[in-house]
Amino acid sequence: MKFNGYRRPNGKVGIRNYVLVLPTSICATKVAFDIANKVEGCRAVNNCYGCCQIGNDYQTTFDTLVNTGMNPNVGAVIIVALGCEGLEPHKVFEPLQERGIPVSVLVIQKEGGTVGAIRKGVEIANRYAQDLSEMVKEECDISELTLGMECGGSDTTSGLASNPAVGVASDMLLAGGGTSILSETTEFIGAEHILAKRAVNPTVGQRLIEIVKNCEERAKMQGQDLRGSQPTPGNIEGGLTSIEEKSLGCSHKAGSAPIQDILQYAAIPSGKGLYIMDTPGQDVVSITGMVAGGAQIVVFTTGRGTPTGNPLAPVIKITGNRQTCEKMSDNIDLNVSAIIEGTKTIKEMGESVFQEIVGVANGKKTKAEELGHQEFSIYKTGATY
């Protein structure tokens, strides 16, 4: 199976062709958005951190920014820094330059402030966007694709219809040599023993059990009942009773392939096949991690309906709930409720999901893209100092 994509100098293939305007801290985020909004073909990302963070949180923000810059949908990067933040721009610049990505640094404190930085940033963005506009798509193999798999606003149709259909589509992509990422560690609670059996070796299986244990321990150490957050009130209204039930439904997105490895948040898989990324259950944070991990495209199943997208990767919304498809028609790309109604099989609808993935890879816009949904949020577990 083939699709047409943008071949990057480093060999990776993008299905979109953006100039990424990347703020290294919250102090630079407004300037980054002003630059991106001035030039067609640019995307900025909403970084709320990047300063006064230590340890794991510093590293997570750093990895997310650098690896987002390496996403194959990005053709060039403009790093925008205030100039005094903890997350230093040259550290973001170096790994991107080493990868052969056209990259520039803009420091607000050296450009006369907001207006000067925007002026210079727009000049650079204009040049990069024009260069990228000259790229011609070429035929690429489906094995070049990395698929992020997300579910949000779940109800019981998610576990019965949309997640198993995505599982079929993921298996088809993997059979073609591609890569899939399953995330949302919170939503493995109660299903981890089943997923762990599918690990390629016992070490990977044990790591899966550990990330779930750590997630559950974090809730316990706060003295809190996870039920305050999981399932959410909407999940419960949709018929989901417990995190265990939600997790067992969620894990169907992973199809039937063996699990190659467990990735830290925002980490890039080292090979092909099915990977698990340690992310929270919050959809936007989870998708941000998978797109940093190299997913060029995301499938997002929903029972209740949700609008969110991503700045760089198209997000395909799939529901198995006919009512939701009608009530949230602005946001749903694909309706697989025929599974619930018994008129189509999971396999048939899974093939439709796969065709939609290929169509969107070829350039078809998702509803989230058309409507400008570009949510981006970096994972954070500790205090800001």
Residues in contact with another protein by CB under 8 A are 155-157, 159-160, 189-191, 194, 216, 219-227, 230, 236, 238-239, 241-245, 248-249, 303, 321, 323, 340-342
**Burial (0-12, 13-18, 19+ Cβ within 10 Å), 215:** buried
Please name every residue paired with 181 in a beta bridge, in sequence order, or none if there are none. Answer: 148, 275
- Judged by CB, which is closer to another protein: 105, or 208? 208
Instruction: Compare residues 155 and 333 and give the one whose CB is closer to another protein.
Output: 155
Between residues 5 and 159, which has the closer beta carbon with respect to another protein? Answer: 159
In the complex, the smallest distance separating the C-beta of residue 221 from another protein, rounded to whole angstroms, is 7
3-state secondary structure 90-158: HHHHHHHHHCCCCEEEEEHHHCCCHHHHHHHHHHHHHHHHHHHHCCCCEEEEHHHCEEEEEECCCCHHH
Q: How far is the CB of 275 from another protein (least distance, A)?
A: 23
- How far the first Cα of the chain sits from its last, in Å, is 50
Q: Report the nearest approach of another protein to the CB of residue 196 (Å).
A: 13
- CA atoms within a 13 Å half-sphere pointing along the CA-CB vector of 184: 28
Which residue, 179 or 247, has its beta carbon nearer to another protein?
247
Maximum alpha-carbon separation in the chain: 64
Residue 220: CB minimum distance to another protein, A: 4
Question: Whose Cβ is closer to another protein: residue 272's or residue 327's?
Answer: 327
Amino acid letter for position 323: Q
Q: What is the closest distance, in whole angstroms, from the C-beta atom of residue 95 to another protein in the complex? A: 36
What length is written for the chain?
Answer: 385
